[in-house]
Amino acid sequence: MLDRARARLLRWRERPIDMVREEFHAEPDAWQAEALHAFAQPENQRIALKACKGPGKTTLEAWAGLNFLATRPNPRIGATSITGDNIDTGLWPEFDKWMQRSKWFTDTFVWTKTRVENRLHPNNCFISKRTWPKTGTEDQQANALAGLHADYVMWIGDEAGGYPQGLMVAMEAIFSSCVEGKILIGGNPTHTTGPLYRACTTDRALWYVVTITGDPDDPKRSPRIKLEWARQQIKQYGRDNPWVMVNVLGQFPPSSINALIGAEEVEAAMRRVLRLQDYEWAQKRLGIDVARFGDDRTVIFPRQGLASFRPIIMRNARTTDIAARAFKSGTKWGAEMYLVDDTGHWGHGVIDNLTVAGAPVVPIVYHAKAINPRYKNRRAEFWIEGTKKLKEGAALPYIPELIAELSEPTYTFLNGVFVLEEKDQIKERLGRSPDLADAYLQTYAIADMPGQLAQMLRGNDRAKRDADPYANDPYSDRPAGRVLHDFDPNE
């Protein structure tokens, strides 16, 4: 009986795919079978999974980790990801999911929130969840992963595309004294720097690289990527689009894809308190994003310098109603510029009505040529410049929806210019159009200028320094405005 059990574990070590079929009752995809075969080969100490969006990469990482745990004597395994939240919702529950399919695994090992450990030898045979400080120094990040040593030792790095290189130094330390060591990293090819990129390029000789693609024309494509979706993305945006390259083809773009601003930075802007003198010098302006479809919202967003105030949100409104509401509230507040989205000419009616009413209107066409040649178009220009201001001290009203709308979009640097992710791609991930963010950032489409200068140029004095744009507005059903130091917009 014991000899038969040992023989089975030896077979699983040599053929991990047998373990997956017999214990987890799953049939690996072609690329997963390749990765499992590579994992079993002693010469492949380092394996990298360069993956498109959603092919089952985390599943493979869990299979490999459980295989090493089951088939090596007293193994110690570390598992990490790009953030603590990411491993908590991704790789870590994946271990539990597959263990629950096997009576042998649940009899032999126990899963907890921080460890998967052998029931008889918990201190010597385990997988340990490890996190590292993303904002820490390189030494602090490396130290968080240090100390994992044994004769049989492994590191699993999920979502490794954005890791700092210092983490790999800590992982590589396992090879200094082990009998057998393995490093398995996986991620989307979003960055042209860092461990995943180096594994696929400059350090390729050290790594076995598995490329996972959703390319409709590739016979080895992942079947988990919907064929029609992949073809639609390629047709709509082209094969050379950075997001198609990463999410559909599993290829590195010409340069890294980066988030414009982090969720933490948006939340910090919502907590920020300003004094009146921090923004009273600046021109008052409204960003108006006109709804294009039934589910989208029309948003009228007020900003003065570093300060912004709660927007008006309208649904299914006529252009005449939108213009009337913007003009009435803007006049009370003393708005000196109305920046209206005219992309696709959706805002024509609003622009015409505001112009007839005498409002200082500036139409904004998102795909028009940027003022600064560093940007692909106007949309990329004011999104990148506006989020930069948030990092530098601008304040936002507390609107939870804005956190995702501002932090989800990404940009890349292509052919010498900054390119912002397509709006349709952002909308697909959010489940809604980023109307609030568009309206707010639209106010940065024209460089800020002093309020008094703007009044002189316009030849009037309508600015009302102490007024809230929507105070006592009978048309407004918005929540109360955010209170800034020395300035209450509801007074």
Task: Give the containing element (helix H, strand E) for 161.
Answer: none
User: What is the pLDDT averaged over residues 189-195?
Assistant: 88
What is the number of domains present in the chain? 2
Per-residue pLDDT of 436-478, as tens digits, reads 999 999 999 999 999 865 555 545 444 333 344 444 443 333 3
The token duo for 306 is 């570093």
Predicted TM-score of the model (pTM): 0.72
Specify the DSSP element, H or E, that contains 337.
strand 337-341
pLDDT at 1: 66
Same domain, 313 and 431: yes
pLDDT at 475: 36
- Evaluate whether residue 225 is within a structural domain: yes
The span from the CA of 254 to the CA of 245, in Å, is 9
C-alpha–C-alpha distance, residues 339 and 444, integer Å = 9
Are residue 236 and residue 310 in the same domain, yes or no? Answer: no
3-state secondary structure of 103: helix
CA–CA dist 79, 411 (Å, integer): 29
Q: Is residue 253 part of a domain?
A: no
Is residue 485 within 8 A of residue 274, CB to CB? The reply is yes
Residue span of the structural domain in which 404 resides? 263-458
Q: Cα–chain-centroid distance for residue 202?
A: 26
**Beta bridge partner(s), residue 154:** 77, 182
Average pLDDT, the chain: 89
Confidence of residue 298 (pLDDT cuts 50, 70, 90): very high
87 Cβ contact partners less than 8 Å away, ≥ 6 residues apart: 79, 80, 81, 129, 131, 158
Residue 483 lies in a domain: no
Q: Does residue 433 share a domain with residue 284?
A: yes
Identify the burial level of 340 via C-beta atoms within 10 angstroms of its C-beta, where 0-12 means exposed, 13-18 middle and 19 or more buried: buried
Give the pLDDT confidence of 85-124 residue by residue, as tens digits.
899 999 999 999 999 999 999 999 999 999 999 999 999 9
Instruction: Kindly state the tokens that stand for 432.
Output: 């809604």
The C-alpha atoms of residue 388 and residue 403 are separated, in whole angstroms, by 15
- Does 477 map to a domain? no
Scanning 201-273, the segments in alpha helix (DSSP H) are 227-237, 242-247, 263-271
Amino acid at 103: K
> Rounded to whole angstroms, how far apart are CA atoms 128 and 113?
10
Q: Within this chain, do residues 399 and 440 fall inside the same structural domain, yes or no? A: yes
CATH of the domain at 294: 3.30.420.240
pLDDT in tens, 219-255: 889 999 999 999 999 998 899 888 899 999 999 988 7
